[in-house]
A and B are shown apart, each in its own frame.
Chain A
C-alpha cells in the first residue's frame, strides 16, 4: 500500500468534526435528559436522575404523548407498506417506457421539491371544502405519501438501472410466466433495496412535520405533539422525549440495516434461491 498523502489526515480531521457536528447536539440532549429534578435546559447537571423520563410516563404531566406515538407508529407502518408496493409497481412500469412516463416522472420529482407547507395547505383546503373529515389516516396519510413515494421511486430507478435483464430472460426462456418471473426472480433479487424503500417510508413518515401540520386533524402525530411541547414546556422533559424517540429511530434503522446485512450473508452462503419456489 502506498503511503497516505498529508491531505488524508487533514480530511480525516474534517470528517471527524463533521460527525461531531451531526451527532454532538443529539448526544448533548441525551446527557441532559438525565438532569436532576432541579436541573434546567442547559449545563451544569444538577444531579443525575430518571426524573424526566418518569414524568413522561405520567399521563397528565404532558399532553397525549403515548397516543401520539401510537398514531405515528401506525401511520409509519401504513405509509411504509404503501410506499413499497406502489414504488415497486411504478418502478416496473417505468421499465416499459409507457406513454406519459416522462410526465409522471417529472410529477414525482415535483412532489419532492414543492414546499411541504403547500401540500399541507392544499390538502387541508380540499378536505374542508369537500366536507371531508381531516384525519391522520386519510388526509395525513395521503400528504405523507407525496414525500415518501418519490424517494421510493428514485431508489427503484437506481435499482432497475443496474438490474441484469438476462435473469428475467433466463426465467422466461424456461417457461416462467410474467408473474412467476416477478415473484420468484425479480423480487428476490431486489429485496435488499425494498428494505431500503421500507426504511425511507417508515422513518420519513414517522418524523414528518410540515405535511402533517394541517392534515392530521384533531389527533396529533408525535412530531406535532413534540412541536407543541416546545412552545410551553421549559423543562428537560422535552429532552427525555427527544432522547426516547431518537433511540426508537436508531432501533428501527438498526433493525433494517441488520436485515439487509443478514440477507446479504444468507445470499452469499446459499447463492440466490431465486426460482427454487417454482
Chain B
C-alpha cells in the first residue's frame, strides 16, 4: 500500500515539474540530501559551534558559567606545557605517518602489482582490512603480553642472548604508542594507495619496460607519481587520526605521555569544560590547517 502511494507520488512529480526541470531536480536533490545535512548540522556543526562558544566561558569547580573571556586561551598560550604537548602531538603524527606510508605503500604495491590472480588479490586485501572492523581497544590491550616486562619480546631477546635484563621501554613508552598507531592505522594508507594503484593503466608499465626502465625505475618514475592522490588521502586519514587521538596515547603510555587529545580529556575529567573547549578549538584549527595544506595536492572527489 505504502509502496503504491510512493509510486504514485513519484510518478506525478516529473509530469508536474517538467517545465521547471532544473528547479525540481534541485528540490529532489535537497530532499534526498536533507537527512544527511540535518544529522551533520545537529551532531557536527552545532557541537563545534558550542565548543567555540564554551571556550569563552568560565568555570567554577562545579559548574560552567556563560561569559566572554579570553582567560582560557590566555592560560593555554601562556603555559609551556601547551607547546610541549603540541610538539609531542606533531612528533607522533610525523613518525606514524612515515612508518604507515612506508609499510602501507609496500603492501599496496605488492597486492596491486605482484598478485596475478584477482581472487587471491581480493582475499589478501580483505585479510588486511578485517582488523579495521574489530575493536581498537582490544587491539591495544593485545600488545600487553607482547611488550610487557615479562612479555614475549623481552623473553625472546633474553633467550637469544641479545640483552641481559628486560627492556623497560617496550610498553608504556613513546615506542609503544607509535607501535600501536602503526598497528591501528596502516590500513588507512593501504586502502587508498591500493585503490589508486589498481587504476593505473597497465600499458604504462609495459611502455616503461619497453623503453628499458628497470623495475625500480618504473616504480619511482611511473607508479609513485600516479599514486600520489592515494598517498595524500591516506596521509590525511593517518595524520588527523593521530592528532585527534587521546586513548591510544593514554593506554599505551600508561598515562606517562601526553598529546593534545589527552590535555582535552584530562580537563573533561576535571569538569573544566571551558578550558577543554579552548584546547579543542586550537586543536581543530591546527588539524584544519594541516588538512588545508594537504588538500592542495589532491581532489578527493575525483579519486573515489
A interface vs B, CB < 8 Å?
A: 1, 4-5, 7-8, 11-12, 14-15, 18-19, 21-26, 28-29, 32, 41-43, 85-87, 89-90, 92-94, 96-101, 104-105, 107-119, 121-123, 125-126, 129, 142-143, 145-146, 149, 153-154, 157-158, 161, 177-180, 183, 199-200, 203-204, 206-207, 209-210, 214, 223, 226-227, 230, 238-239, 242, 245-246, 249-250, 252-253, 257
Mask of B140-162 contacts with A, CB within 8 angstroms, 1/0:
01111110101110010000000
**Closest A residue to B9 using CB positions:** A179
Partner of B137, one of A15, A153, A179, A226: A226
B43 and A118 contact, CB distance less than 8 A:
no
Interfacial residues of chain B within 63-120, with CB under 8 A of chain A in the complex: 103, 106-107, 109-111, 114, 116
Cβ contacts A to B, 27 pairs, < 8 Å: A11-B106, A11-B114, A22-B128, A29-B138, A29-B145, A43-B152, A86-B39, A90-B33, A90-B35, A97-B29, A98-B28, A121-B273, A123-B43, A125-B51, A129-B50, A149-B40, A153-B36, A157-B301, A161-B304, A177-B14, A179-B7, A207-B133, A207-B136, A209-B247, A223-B137, A226-B137, A245-B134
A105 and B301 contact, CB distance less than 8 A:
yes
A115 and B287 contact, CB distance less than 8 A:
yes
Residues of B contacting A8 in the complex (Cβ-Cβ under 8 angstroms): 114
A99 and B26 contact, CB distance less than 8 A:
yes
Whether, in the assembled complex, B11 has its beta carbon less than 8 Å from a beta carbon of chain A, the answer is yes
A63 to B198, CA, bound (A): 47
A93 to B9, CA, bound (A): 18
Whether, in the assembled complex, B220 has its beta carbon less than 8 Å from a beta carbon of chain A, the answer is no
Mask of B275-286 contacts with A, CB within 8 angstroms, 1/0:
011001001100
B10 and A179 contact, CB distance less than 8 A:
yes
Whether, in the assembled complex, B175 has its beta carbon less than 8 Å from a beta carbon of chain A, the answer is no
Residues of A contacting B143 in the complex (Cβ-Cβ under 8 angstroms): 25
Query: A92-B32, A111-B44, A223-B135 known; 12 other A-B pairs, CB under 8 Å?
Result: A25-B183, A28-B146, A29-B138, A29-B141, A98-B28, A98-B33, A101-B29, A104-B40, A115-B243, A115-B245, A115-B287, A161-B304
Number of A-B contacts (CB under 8 A): 271
Total contacting residues, chain B, CB less than 8 A: 91
B interface vs A, CB < 8 Å?
A: 3, 6-7, 9-11, 13-14, 25-26, 28-33, 35-37, 39-40, 42-51, 54, 103, 106-107, 109-111, 114, 116, 124, 126-128, 130-131, 133-139, 141-146, 148, 150-152, 155, 183, 186, 215, 236-237, 240, 243-247, 251, 261, 264-265, 268, 273, 276-277, 280, 283-284, 287, 291, 300-301, 304
Partner of A249, one of B47, B134, B152: B134
